[in-house]
Structure 1
Amino acid sequence: MSPVTGAELQLPEDYAALLEQLKQQVRTARLRARRSVNTELLSLYWTIGRTILDRQQQQGWGAKVIDRLAADLRAEFPDMTGLSRSNLHYMRALAEAWPEAQVVPQAVGQLPWGHVRTLLDAIDDQRTRDWYAAAAAEHGWSRAVLINQIKNRTHQRLGAAPSNFADRLPAADSDLARELARDPYVFDFLGLTGEVAERELEQALMDRLQDTLMELGRGFAFVGRQVPLDVDGDEFFIDLLFFHVEQLRYVVVELKVGKFAPEFAGKLGFYVSVVDDLIAKPQHNPTVGLLLCADRNERVVRYSLGNTAQPMAVSTYTYDTLPPAEQQALPAADEVAAALDTPVQVHGQQLSLAEHIERLEQQRSAAPPIA
């Protein structure tokens, strides 16, 4: 029987809405199923890792025993990926980094295995690992985004910009506002090198708006560029205006390609006051300003912020941390992550490229030296 088409059947008025509702329910159920599978898999990996760790400590298991264990497990479960020698070492590292048996309820337990491997590879300090695990779980970072956030040391930059928030906002609001301002901002995705004009920097940020919002942080929504402010017939223009949907406040951003000067704070303070008066609604929290400049004198910034009535922060930024040739040659973080996860056939066995590289390194290290 052929399916009934829309031309043959008079659909109810609410059919389209019902269809969308059911689609969403299917998507939600599939997502829950994937999360459930991931949770069980991570719990299994932790158990295997804990077992290996205990045997090494109690019985002195060496690398060859783990090699044999990996081979025997793959022979017993040929259709199951993830039982390679390198993965068993990651399982051991997982159990060592998170020794509690209830690893799944922790933030790391909500992450895919590729994310966990990234945390184990890229970070040595456990508190820092926990910070990125919690951030990745909360914000839903992809593996590529996680790699980029670690590379750019987001945990050290968050809330690091000098500001007058503590003196200009209530205590609870001040703590929230501080989270908005990183220092420095890393705009290496712009592809800029050398000195640029302010409009060129502004245009580059708009051309890569999604990346710009990612670097600004969760909750930022773009409102406009060169936003006009009419004050009794006199017109002024804000470089960039954002709204933070979680903190319910406008954020005025001014770009400067040179070193911070005290007059910059006065101009930004004026814009913050006007936005608070003419654009913000009564239910919104106070507008804050964010001045992005190429360099700053800390003492000059401190004096300037102390004499400014409006809440604002002063951050620096970078966009050419590598020479132009090296920037062009480097692949993006998502390309690297995707390449390492690419399946390859090796002697009839399917491995990820990362696992294949690991095996080649093991073979090379095990080979006798050339006389």
Structure 2
Amino acid sequence: METENTYIQLLTELKQKIRQAQQRVALSVNTEMLVLYWSIGIDISIKIKEASWGAKIIDQISKDLRNEFPDSKGFSVRNLKYMRAFADAYPDFLHEDFSKSEKVIVQPAVAQLQSTDNQQHEFAQGALAQVNHPILQPLVALIPWTHHTIILDKIKSADDRLFYIRKTAENGWTKSVLTFQIESRLHERQGKAITNFDSTLPKLQSDIAKQMLKNPYVFDIMGMGEDIKELELEKALIKEIRKLMLELGKGFAYVGNQYHLQVDSEDFYLDLLFYNFHLHCFVVFELKIGAFKPEYAGKLNFYVNAIDEQIKGKQDNPTIGVLLCKTPNETVVKYSLKGIKSPLGVADYQLPKKLKSDMPTIEELESAIKKTKNGEQGG
């Protein structure tokens, strides 16, 4: 048995060394590629401005580079234009002043990430572990090239670009998730929910909790046309809500939907229950179709207290409750939360404009969710 344990320990250590080496290799390759692309972009940008060549020169450069390096796929006209845009967007990419201003901004958040199999998370963590290299200090060096092209295409503000670079590095977003977050304007929504966290949580925990909440939440149920079936809607809605909560990043783990609680002889069912490993607490999400009503805060407070009494461990922090509803009136919400000792937050949700015409009405959604609840309770 001792020999077996020793072998398992050795194997674990070897796997860790291999993964760390793979991270360093991936980081090195990405870094060198970004440096090369930035340098090419700077050279092209300067020559076009100084020599008055005109942007058409990029077509000729692309042709000549591809003839010289036929196995390289990075020298298309489109990619060379991205390189120029990249250099113009981050002119101080290799300079010390940029490094000092932006270094380690994402380190506190990324350092809190739980170990996962997600390669994007590993990449971000590996990048931050190498901050002694001057090129690794800027935020710009922490994400892959393809993500940069998406940000360059869709974001014009320098501050907003750095926001999405930071969030990508923190949360390991794929290209599709990054695109969705940009198109749903996460930079305008994050941290905007109405809460009582300042009065119910310690400052550090309150700040982290507020940054994890968006207002509004955007439900992007793709592929749902006019011929959508009721059962398809039910499944898609629950799946989408769960996916969006997990995409908040920063340590959310899914516990269950229609989570059963029994208080004395009465049964209750929470819409969604998560655990957050950074805040070390359970998080209850309740979805209400329609505008906010004061009684919703009381019901959510009840659920939070029940979780605290029945499930929360001694090492856990107080449970947080989040209510998603349509167009909450800020004053009504503040009055409703005042005096409640449990940490609660209220946020809006919406569907993208392009989907609204194909989606069922609010009343139809409410009916579908009620049937989902009743069906699962009966099962």
Q: Which runs of 5+ in 1 are unaligned?
A: 1-10, 328-371
* Structure-2 change in CA distance of 1:298 and 1:17 (3 Å): same
> Residue type matched to 1:256 in 2?
K
Q: Which residue of 1 aligns with 2:279?
A: 247
For residues 234 and 325 of structure 1, what CA distance do their matches in structure 2 show?
A: 40
* Structure-2 change in CA distance of 1:300 and 1:101 (3 Å): closer
| Shift, 1:164, TM fit | 1.0
| Shift, 1:13, TM fit | 7.2
For residues 338 and 224 of structure 2, what CA distance do their matches in structure 1 show?
A: 33
| Shift, 1:18, TM fit | 4.8
Alignment of 1:163-182 (within 5 A): 163-182=195-214
For residues 262 and 239 of structure 2, what CA distance do their matches in structure 1 show?
A: 27
- Contact persistence 2:287–2:323 (CA under 8 A): yes
User: Which of residues 50, 57, 80 in structure 2 aligns to 1:88?
Assistant: 80
* Structure-2 change in CA distance of 1:237 and 1:85 (3 Å): closer
> Residue type matched to 2:316 in 1?
H
Q: Which residue of 2 aligns with 1:29?
A: 21
Moved more, 47-56 or 113-122: 47-56
Q: Which has the larger radius of gyration?
A: 1
Q: Which runs of 5+ in 2 are unaligned?
A: 95-134, 360-379
> Residue type matched to 1:154 in 2?
L
Query: Are residue 51 (structure 1) and residue 26 (structure 2) matched?
Result: no
TM-score (norm 2): 0.74
* Structure-2 change in CA distance of 1:191 and 1:260 (3 Å): farther
Q: Which residue of 2 aligns with 1:359?
A: none
> Residue type matched to 1:36 in 2?
S
* Structure-2 change in CA distance of 1:170 and 1:133 (3 Å): same
Q: Deviations over 1:73-117 (max 9, x none)?
A: 222222222112222221111111111142653222122211111
* Structure-2 change in CA distance of 1:167 and 1:324 (3 Å): closer
- Contact persistence 2:220–2:351 (CA under 8 A): yes
For residues 282 and 204 of structure 2, what CA distance do their matches in structure 1 show?
A: 17
Q: Which residue of 2 aligns with 1:118?
A: 150
SS at match of 2:296: helix
Q: Which residue of 1 aligns with 2:65?
A: 73
- Contact persistence 2:283–2:321 (CA under 8 A): yes
| Shift, 1:16, TM fit | 6.3
> Residue type matched to 1:160 in 2?
K
Moved more, 210-219 or 149-158: 210-219
- Contact persistence 2:216–2:350 (CA under 8 A): yes
- Contact persistence 1:158–1:182 (CA under 8 A): yes
For residues 238 and 9 of structure 2, what CA distance do their matches in structure 1 show?
A: 35
- Contact persistence 1:164–1:306 (CA under 8 A): yes
Q: Indicate the percent of aligned positions where both proteins have the same amino acid.
A: 44
SS at match of 1:86: helix
- Contact persistence 1:248–1:284 (CA under 8 A): yes
> Residue type matched to 1:78 in 2?
P
Q: Which residue of 2 aligns with 1:339?
A: none
| Shift, 1:215, TM fit | 4.0
For residues 13 and 175 of structure 1, what CA distance do their matches in structure 2 show?
A: 43
For residues 275 and 88 of structure 1, what CA distance do their matches in structure 2 show?
A: 55
Q: Deviations over 1:165-188 (max 9, x none)?
A: 112222222111212221111111
Moved more, 13-22 or 232-241: 13-22
| Shift, 1:249, TM fit | 1.0
* Structure-2 change in CA distance of 1:193 and 1:294 (3 Å): farther
| Shift, 1:65, TM fit | 2.6
| Shift, 1:317, TM fit | 1.4
- Report the aligned-residue RMSD: 2.9
- Contact persistence 1:190–1:319 (CA under 8 A): no
| Shift, 1:193, TM fit | 8.0
